[in-house]
Amino acid sequence: MASRNLVPRADADGGQIGTTAKRWTDGKFQKITVGAGTASIAPVNLVAGTNLTSATAGAIEYDGLVMYGSPLAGARGVLPNTMYAIVPAAGFALSTAAGVQSAFPTTNDVWTLNANTTYLFEGMYWIQKATNSVTVAMAFAASGLTVTSILYNVWGINAAANTTGTAGQFTLVNQIASTVVNATGTTNNLLVFRGLLRVGTGGTLTPQINFSGTAAGTPTMLANSYIMFTPIGTDTNNQVGNVA
């Protein structure tokens, strides 16, 4: 296609296609300036569609579940859209009683996850507890959500901050039900975990912990404890990328 000059044009929201001395060349814009977003209008909004049969270099795609980018031809990859929750500076007071309870404050403890989607998740729980010796378990409460499968590993240790622990435990978990991931102890507890979750029917998921008995004193999920969820594809997809 022959090159031709474009007259710069700005819309009401400040968007602009081209600038002085910029051109439309071979069917491509040389420069696009996107206007600022507002509280109700996103600067760029992709409509869900069907991904390319063969990913082309530089392509950005959205299939309604995950956004993808292709740095090279045939090398489609997931563009991370990570969601997270962090315990604020004041910490989060936990119940002293045995039984499952939310690991995060009520303002950020219930996750809405999409149907037919695979998620990578990871996190770190730093729990302050003392006096009574109890085990600590992890769990996830599902509401309206069905888990096709889940697999995650947990490294747990009883130790104070800035102190080298003498022993740790590794646990592999393949269920959302309460599972003990750290041995009996009275000191502070660290849980570091990472895994994969496949969702069938969409709904909500609440990260939980569970003491085996009364955790006397003031058990607290300390500041900067966190969990992250990243969608990476459909619940049946087993690969994305230049792999065969």
CATH of the domain at 92: 2.60.120
Assigned domain for 240 exists: no
Q: What is the pLDDT of residue 26?
A: 66
* 194-208 average pLDDT score: 98
| 3 has pLDDT over 50 | no
| 54 has pLDDT over 50 | yes
pTM, entire model: 0.85
Q: What is the pLDDT of residue 117?
A: 97
- Token pair of 223 as six digits: 């500041």
**In the Cβ-directed half-sphere of 132, how many Cα atoms lie within 13 Å?**
15
| 7 has pLDDT over 80 | no
CA-to-CA distance for 17 and 119, rounded, in angstroms? 37
| 240 has pLDDT over 70 | yes
Assigned domain for 157 exists: yes
Confidence of residue 168 (pLDDT cuts 50, 70, 90): confident
* 47-61 average pLDDT score: 92
Assigned domain for 6 exists: no
Share of the chain above pLDDT 70, in %: 87
Assigned domain for 156 exists: yes
The number of distinct structural domains making up the chain is 1
Residue 176 belongs to what domain range? 83-234
- Token pair of 39 as six digits: 């509280």
Q: What is the pLDDT of residue 21?
A: 46
Q: What is the pLDDT of residue 164?
A: 79
Q: Residue type at 62?
A: Y
Q: Dihedral (C-alpha) 124, 127, 133, 139: value to the nearest 10 degrees?
A: -50
Q: Which carries the bigger pLDDT value, residue 131 or residue 162? A: 162
| 20 has pLDDT over 90 | no
**For the chain, give me the number of helices (H) and strands (E)?**
0, 22
Q: What is the pLDDT of residue 133?
A: 84
Confidence of residue 130 (pLDDT cuts 50, 70, 90): confident
* 230-238 average pLDDT score: 95
Report the range of poorest mean pLDDT among 123-137, 138-152, 199-213: 123-137
CA 73 to chain CA centroid, Å, is: 27
* 138-163 average pLDDT score: 94
Assigned domain for 145 exists: yes
Strand partners, 169: 156
Assigned domain for 57 exists: no
Assigned domain for 179 exists: yes
* 74-98 average pLDDT score: 94
Share of the chain above pLDDT 90, in %: 66
Assigned domain for 3 exists: no
Mean of per-residue pLDDT scores for the chain = 88
Confidence of residue 222 (pLDDT cuts 50, 70, 90): very high
| 47 has pLDDT over 50 | yes
- Token pair of 52 as six digits: 């390319």
